[in-house]
Amino acid sequence: MARSLALLMLLFNSSLLLPPASSDDDAAAAAVPTGGAAADELALLSFRSSLVSQGGSSLASWNTTSGHGQHCTWAGVACGGRRDRVVELRLRSFNLSGTISPSLGNLSFLAKLHLGGNHLSGEIPPELGRLSRLRRLNMSGNSLQGSIPAAIGGCFRLIEMDLTINQLEGKIPLQIGASMKNLAYLYLEGNRLSGQIPRSLAELPSIQELSLGSNGLSGEIPPALGNLTGLSFLSLSENSLSGGIPSSLCNLTSLSSLYLNKNTLSGTIPSCLGNLNSLLELALSDNTLSGAIPSSLGRLSRLSSLHLSSNNLSGLIPDPIWNISSLTVFGVQYNMLSGMLPANAFSTLPHLQEVYMDNNQFHGHIPASVANASNISMLTFGVNSFSGVVPEEIGRLRNLGTLVLAETLLEAEGPNDWKFMTALTNCSNLQHVEMGACKFGGVLPDSVSNLSSSLVYLSIGANKISGSLPRDIGNLINLESLVLFNNSLTGSLPSSFSKLKNLHRLILFNNKLSGYLQLTIGNLTQITNLELYGNAFSGTIPSTLGNMTRLFELNLAHNNFIGAIPTEIFSIPTLSETLDVSHNKLEGSIPKEIGELKNIVEFHADSNKLSGEIPSTISGCQLLQHLSLQNNFLNGNIPIALTQLAGLDTLDLSGNNLSGQIPKSLGDMPLLHSLNLSFNSFQGEVPTNGVFANASEIYIQGNANICGGIPELRLPQCSLKSTKKKKHQILLIALTVCLVSTLAIFSLLYMLLTCHKRRKKEVPAMTSIQGHPMITYKQLVKATDGFSPANLLGSGSFGSVYKGELDSQHGESTSSVAVKVLKLETPKAVKSFTAECEALRNMRHRNLVKIVTICSSIDNKGNDFKAIVYDFMPNGSLEDWLHPETNCDQAEQRHLNLHQRVNILLDVACALDYLHCLGPESVVHCDIKSSNVLLDADMVAHVGDFGLARILVKESSLMQQSTSSMGFRGTIGYAAPEYGVGNIASTHGDIYSYGILVLETVSGKRPTDTTFGPGLSLRQYVEPGLHGRLMDVVDRKLVLDSKSWVQTPDISPCKEINECLVSLLRLGLSCSQELPSSRMQTGDVISELHDIKESLSMASIM
């Protein structure tokens, strides 16, 4: 009896350590028999009660309906010994969510605890430190938070601890190194751990594998780690480690894998690393290492992977490197390596599979010995100065999947120079070929048609290729992108094109192609972008284009098409970006079916021979922003339905035969900023509201019978209908003149009397942008509560921004605004104010920050005062979301998913497209960065801060500045490199900044991130993401969003997400190329983003 009572007391005392059980478990626990096994059962029931989701039926067996003592039969539970104590708890990938109950600390015989691959959250219970028999602990792939408890050091028998891919923070406990002397495997990768690497880890005598990568660890690599002579695996990658590579690491002679990549390590590569004879993998990429590659690395006879990319390495590749016959991966891209490759460079590399040598300064010929490395599947030589002809021996690489030769000096003229293309037909696994922006000329050989049927991407754009397209190019049945723009191709599209049923992008603009488009082109039902503009195609536009039900953009401009616009085009539901049929010879009327394009943004049909009236059904195009119908033979009135297009920005109807009165309702269109009605037959009074109130926004010349309008138009006054009215008008004018004269005299006297007091009193005078309400300094003081620090939103070099509540004109309500007060004592602040006012004066677009008004007055101390008032953006800036302050209450909540980031980037691209190409004047922003991208309540992005903007004017083919310069343009990290050497502002500079913004948005890294040392840029940081190391460069918040995507990157829809991220990185890199002329145009950027957005949408449906 006494023994039973003692056991009950022991059980009760143990239960005090457990959290409250659920109601079902309360009843079960109340009837638990006494004893050690019973305590184990109670601990397991308590663990189950702490779970929010129990993985469906995964833990269905965890119940006591058949009585107690059955827990050893429960799923994932293993017992041992004569007393049936729990020794193993194996719940890997059971789809569990909730917290980890401290009751697991009562499983005193537990030797193995595996909770990896679930959705557990909360902190790691310190009570687990009581599991003195525990040998293996795995909690990887969850969402655990907080710090690693120091009490975990109590598990002194632990052999393996795996906490990878969680959200753990804080420092690595010293107790791990001080107490766990049996620890052989320690995996802490993929968390948010900070601080320095504890030196106590160097006191783990049994450690074999140490993985601390993908955290926020800082400081130098402890030299004492060189004492861990039994270490075979060491990963410190993707941290913020600095300093040099300790030479003591050369003592780790058992080391097979050394990962130090993606830090800010500096100095040279220690030559003694060549003594690590067991080394299989060496990753030093993405640091700021300098100097030459040590020739001693050539002694690593077992080395399989050598990653030295994205550093500041210079000089030649040492000859001994070419003798490491075991190499499978060789990466030196994005360095400053130079010289010619030896003729026998690849002769002794039979196992080589991946070669990354792009973005260096290599020159000379590509050696024919590359064919000896017959297992190569990835070969990137692009962005170098390689010249000459591509060796035809390259065709002996039977496993070749990706070939990148773009942006080199490689050339071809005659058939012999193109023999390499014929040789590539032997590469049956070839999927990706990039040969754009080289010096390839001559005729494209027919052998292109015989390339691998696995080919999905072929780019030979921006070369000098002539002749016709290969007749049988349709044999490339899996081709998804064919990019041949900016060449001199002639002839018609081969009929075999209709076999390319997987084609998504056909980019053939700016060639000399001609002939008819066959009806069979409609077989390309998967196509999303069809860009054929700038050729000489003729005949009618095929009605079968209506079969392209995934089409986003259709551009057939600047050709010789005739006939009517086929109505079938207007039934394509996805056609949302651009429909451009301008500059052809099209006839007939605009089909009434145009209203079916609910999502179209741009419709251009100008410079044709279209006739008839503008259909009223056009009101169905509710997202239309740009409508160009000029230079046709359209007649009739402007339909009132046209004024229902609330989002219309530009409307050009000039050069037609339109007549009737100009609808006053055109002035009620809120976003209309450019209206061209010139050279028609309009009559009657010109309205004065809305867009008609600004002479720079409307064009009405060439209409003989119009009158009225604002004075700046200098139109005749509209005649009155009777002599009586004329007399009344004369009398009214006379009275007005007298009244104005009297008032002027009194005003002059008043001004003379008060002039000397003016600067001692508040002067409410204010300069306003036309069309915006007047506002005074006094009103701004009231709106901002006296410019209270509590309302301060931020401060920059030229001014401070305050939040304000501005009364309406009638005082009935208030609206939130942002007031930018200029620091006039700062040099060039006035120029910033002038530049911003001039840039925004005529600008209206949904993705530009809306200016409410400006104030140029005197404050209550008699000092000059200038301010700009904008709409308030409640969600702050993109910078706030990408880089939340750690001490901010919203830091954890502020997170953008991938869909939101793509939408924001698309919004910014649309804003730039408007500024550069579609606005009344071409404007260069000069300071595109994440802090200047503001988000409204609906997370729509608006570009703001035009303090450095330049308005450009066209003169011939040149774009020249029209406003005074203000020195260096932009912000360090975002500013284009040409600005640093004094070049004038250009749209290319904005595109560069936008490219950096894209990379920042995807990587979560600022371009001036402290982890980037000298010579390492954001571009270099993300480049590995294009070559199989996507997870190394993507913002960790995105990774945590989609753990399944990380674990199964090759499974759809995860593959779609993966490809979208790679496309975003490629977009950012393309926009931020060093050569301005190589950067993308805004229209192409928008098209690419629409492709990405569509792919994301499809991935979310799958």
Burial readout 445-457 (b: 16 or more C-beta within 10 A, e: otherwise): bbbbbbbbebbbb
Q: How far apart are CA 191 and CA 143, in angstroms?
A: 10
Which residue is listed with tokens 């138009």?
713
Amino acid sitting at position 390: V
Report how far apart, in Å, the C-alpha atoms of 575 and of each of 304, 644, 973, 1032 are.
Answer: 49, 21, 37, 36
Sign of CA dihedral 295, 298, 299, 304: positive
Contact 845, 811 (CB under 8 A): no
726 annotated to a ligand binding site? no
**Mapping DSSP to helix (H, G, I), strand (E, B) and coil, where does residue 259 land?**
strand
The backbone torsions φ and ψ at residue 126, rounded to the nearest 5 degrees and listed phi first, read -60, -25
DSSP 70: -
> Would strands 950-955 and 958-961 be described as parallel, antiparallel, or unpaired?
antiparallel
Phi, psi of 532 (to 5 degrees): -115, 15
Q: Output phi, psi for 982, to 5 deg.
A: 90, 10
Residue 674 gets which letter from DSSP? Answer: E
Count other C-beta atoms under 10 Å from residue 1059's C-beta: 17
Give the integer Cα–Cα distance in Å for 31 and 464. 86
Cβ-proximal residues to 36 (8 Å cutoff; 6+ apart), any chain: 83, 85, 108
Could you give phi then psi for residue 451, rounded to 5 degrees? -65, 170
For residue 174, report the phi and psi dihedrals to the nearest 5 degrees.
Answer: -65, -25
Give the strands of the sheet with 950-955, arranged side by side. 922-924, 950-955, 958-961
The single-letter DSSP state of residue 193 is E
**Token pair of 62 as six digits:** 């965890």
Q: In whole angstroms, give the CA distance from residue 535 to residue 556.
A: 9
Q: DSSP letters along 737-786, please?
A: HHHHHHHHHHHHHHHHHHGGGGGGS-B------TTS----HHHHHHHTTT
Task: Give the closest residue to 847 by CA, choosing from 574, 1089, 606.
Answer: 1089
Residue 1074 and residue 1081: Cα distance in Å, rounded? 15
E-state strands within 558-625: 560-563, 578-580, 585-588, 602-604, 609-612
- In whole angstroms, how large is the CA radius of gyration of the chain? 35
Strand, helix or coil for residue 29: helix
Neighbours of 1050 (CB within 10 A): 7
The yes-or-no answer on residue 40 being catalytic is: no
- E-assigned strand segments in 405-480: 409-412, 432-434, 439-443, 457-459, 464-468
Among 130, 123, 122, 178, CA closest to 151: 130
CB 389 within 8 A of CB 408: no
CA-based nearest residue to 239, from 258, 222, 214, 257: 214
Chain length of the chain:
1102
Beta strands 409-412 and 385-388 are parallel
Q: Let me know: does 55 contact 82? Beta carbons within 8 Å.
A: no
Contact by Cβ (8 Å): 645, 615: no
Residue in 606, 927, 945, 1035 annotated catalytic: 927
**Four-residue CA torsion sign, 885, 888, 892, 895:** negative
Binding residues: 820
Residues with a catalytic annotation lie at 927
Binding residues for ATP: 820
